[in-house]
């Protein structure tokens, strides 16, 4: 495809090697060159973006993966979108495989819904459309004033299970539902076991408000209505409902960041006789000590997609494997530019996938 006649450009909003890798894979599949731009930080850490070619009247796709410094990545995306807007781009579409702050999409005590704030910032900067993958909560799409295409990584993860897991081991598998997903078990024709409860952490009960309202009330003056006193919630420790003995246990989630819960679950599964333990997730953030904890745990393999750069973590932990999802992102870009239906990318995808 001739870049000058394609009617669209693909830019990377981050100039680091790790974050441009996905952008290069996407442009190679599309048969176009990566747009010429420079993204860097000034000596005072201000973000600067210089677009090196004309974008007037064209569809612009900005690919931004989220590395360790989340806030810098967001600022790079905002500045680049605004630069393209003021350069008279026709449409500006953000390709953000992992949408940052997606876990902060609910009100917590006196906090805020940061995900809603970020959606407003992106719209103000000039974005007119977003392509993302496996939002933490599908309802996040309602925060945006422009279209959002929430793609799914499940076909790629299911393909990995079929080709790399089940064919290599002549043993029955079972799908574990630690957080989700019954739909995986149904598609793979596997048995389903359920993991109930949670690993106990000293600060977890303070974060989710399970001891609210307080057990005792101290009021002065008029007390008003007498509300029923609620008992505090308390989840039991992790238990397994179902037979996992001698089987491959596969736990699926959308994000794997802090891995304490997964490590605790793996220990329980090993005690119950699981043969192999796989953790599969779309977004492998793997923060802090996650690689070391995985390496030292009973987990046999952690499979994530390349929505988030994690090459450093893979060097620290050989158990981490990567599935490439650049194919579906490239096809989404092509279909949006050509005005084609996106339904093909969601074929056989159910609401709970």
Structure tokens at 309: 């750069």
Shared domain for 171 and 310, answered yes or no, is: yes
Task: From 91, 125, 151, give the residue that closes a domain.
Answer: 151
- 3-state SS, residue 106: coil
Cα(324)–Cα(31) distance, integer angstroms: 18
Task: Give 278's pLDDT tier (boundaries 50, 70, 90).
Answer: very high
3-state secondary structure 88-124: CCCEEEEEECCCCCCCCCCCCCCCCCHHHHHHHHHHH
Structure tokens at 166: 């089940």
Answer whether residue 339 is part of any domain.
no
Q: Between the CA of residue 184 and those of 173, 349, 352, what are the distances in Å?
A: 12, 11, 10
What's the pLDDT score for residue 168?
58
What's the pLDDT score for residue 275?
87
Task: Give 181's pLDDT tier (boundaries 50, 70, 90).
Answer: low
For tokens 């006193």, what's the residue? 229
The greatest distance separating any two alpha carbons of the chain, rounded to the nearest whole angstrom, comes to 77
Cα(309)–Cα(311) distance, integer angstroms: 6
CATH number for the domain that contains residue 127? 3.40.50.2020
Using alpha carbons, select from 236, 308, 300, 288 the residue that is nearest to residue 263.
300
Please give the DSSP secondary-structure letter assigned to residue 35: P
Shared domain for 37 and 59, answered yes or no, is: yes
Shared domain for 251 and 145, answered yes or no, is: no
Using alpha carbons, select from 89, 125, 124, 122 the residue that is nearest to residue 9.
89
Spell out the residues 6+ positions from residue 245 whose beta carbon is closer than 8 angstroms to its own. 272, 273, 274
Contact at 8 Å (CB) between 308 and 283?
yes
Answer whether residue 314 is part of any domain.
yes
For tokens 């000590």, what's the residue? 289
Shared domain for 99 and 173, answered yes or no, is: no
CA 142 to chain centre: 17
Contact at 8 Å (CB) between 11 and 53?
no
Shared domain for 254 and 192, answered yes or no, is: yes
For residue 175, pLDDT over 70 is answered with no
Mark out the alpha helices in 5-55 (DSSP H runs).
17-30
Shared domain for 47 and 169, answered yes or no, is: no
Q: Which string of DSSP letters, residue by residue, matches 199-250?
A: ---TTHHHHTTTT-S-SS----S---S-PPPPPPP-PPPPEEES--TTSEEE
For tokens 């450009």, what's the residue? 9
Structure tokens at 290: 């996650």
Answer whether residue 267 is part of any domain.
yes
Task: Give 213's pLDDT tier (boundaries 50, 70, 90).
Answer: low
| Least reliable range by pLDDT among 40-49, 239-248, 283-292, 328-337 | 239-248
Answer whether residue 209 is part of any domain.
no
- 3-state SS, residue 196: strand
Answer whether residue 44 is part of any domain.
yes
The parent domain of residue 82 ranges over 9-151
Cα(249)–Cα(353) distance, integer angstroms: 19
Shared domain for 99 and 58, answered yes or no, is: yes
Task: Give 202's pLDDT tier (boundaries 50, 70, 90).
Answer: very low
For tokens 């699981």, what's the residue? 274
Cα(60)–Cα(247) distance, integer angstroms: 48
Q: How many domains does the chain have?
A: 2
Shared domain for 82 and 27, answered yes or no, is: yes
Task: Give 5's pLDDT tier (boundaries 50, 70, 90).
Answer: very low
Answer whether residue 352 is part of any domain.
no
Answer whether residue 80 is part of any domain.
yes
Shared domain for 190 and 314, answered yes or no, is: yes
Answer whether residue 134 is part of any domain.
yes
Omega within 30 of 0 (cis) for the link into 145: no
Shared domain for 187 and 86, answered yes or no, is: no
Shared domain for 133 and 253, answered yes or no, is: no
Shared domain for 164 and 273, answered yes or no, is: yes
């Amino acid at each position: 495809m001739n870049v000058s006649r394609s009617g669209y450009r693909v830019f990377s909003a981050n100039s680091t090697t790790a974050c441009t890798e996905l952008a290069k894979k996407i442009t190679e599949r599309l048969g176009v060159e990566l747009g010429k731009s420079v993204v860097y930080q000034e000596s005072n850490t201000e973000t600067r973006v210089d677009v090196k070619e004309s974008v007037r009247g064209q569809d612009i796709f900005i690919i931004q993966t989220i590395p360790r410094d989340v806030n810098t990545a967001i600022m790079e995306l905002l500045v680049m979108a605004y630069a393209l807007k003021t350069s008279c781009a026709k449409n500006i579409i953000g390709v953000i495989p992992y949408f940052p702050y997606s876990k902060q999409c609910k009100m917590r005590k006196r906090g805020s819904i940061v995900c809603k704030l970020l959606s407003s910032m992106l719209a103000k900067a000039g974005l007119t459309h977003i392509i993302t993958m496996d939002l933490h909560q599908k309802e996040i799409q309602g925060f945006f004033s422009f279209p959002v295409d929430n793609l799914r990584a499940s076909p790629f993860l299911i393909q990995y299970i079929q080709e790399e897991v089940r064919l290599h081991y002549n043993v029955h598998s079972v799908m574990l539902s630690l957080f989700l997903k019954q739909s995986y078990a149904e598609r793979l024709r596997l048995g389903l076991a359920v993991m109930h409860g949670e690993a106990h952490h000293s600060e977890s009960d303070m974060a989710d408000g399970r001891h609210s309202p307080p057990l005792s009330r101290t009021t002065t003056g008029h007390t008003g209505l007498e509300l029923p006193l609620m008992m505090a919630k308390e989840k039991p420790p992790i238990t397994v409902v179902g037979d996992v003995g001698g089987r491959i246990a596969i736990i699926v989630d959308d994000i794997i960041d802090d891995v304490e819960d997964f490590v605790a679950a793996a220990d329980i599964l090993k005690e119950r006789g699981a043969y192999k333990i796989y953790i599969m997730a779309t977004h492998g953030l793997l923060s802090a000590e996650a690689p070391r904890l995985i390496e030292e745990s009973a987990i046999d393999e952690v499979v994530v997609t390349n929505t988030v750069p994690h090459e450093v973590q893979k060097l620290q932990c050989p158990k981490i494997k990567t599935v490439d999802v650049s194919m579906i992102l490239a096809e989404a870009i092509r279909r949006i530019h050509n005005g084609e239906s996106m339904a093909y990318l969601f074929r056989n995808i159910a609401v709970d996938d």
